[in-house]
Amino acid sequence: MAEMIAEHVDAPVAVVEVTPTFERMEVTVVWLNDQASGEHSSLGS
């Protein structure tokens, strides 16, 4: 679903996966379109 949205918007679209481990949380961010750049590196900006 997110991949389909990423094709039709002019904004960065990413999938964020959070995996809890015993000692920490592992976070993976996958950008789904070419809109992602250094100027959009933080969510909510």
Q: What is the pTM of this model?
A: 0.57
Q: What residues are paired with 19 via a beta bridge?
A: 26
42 pLDDT higher than 60: no
DSSP-derived secondary structure for 14-30: EEEEEEE-SS-EEEEEE
pLDDT digits (tens, 9 = 90+) for 3-39: 888 888 888 888 999 999 999 999 999 998 887 665 4
pLDDT of residue 27: 95
pLDDT of residue 40: 47
Residue tagged 């070419």 (tokens): 34
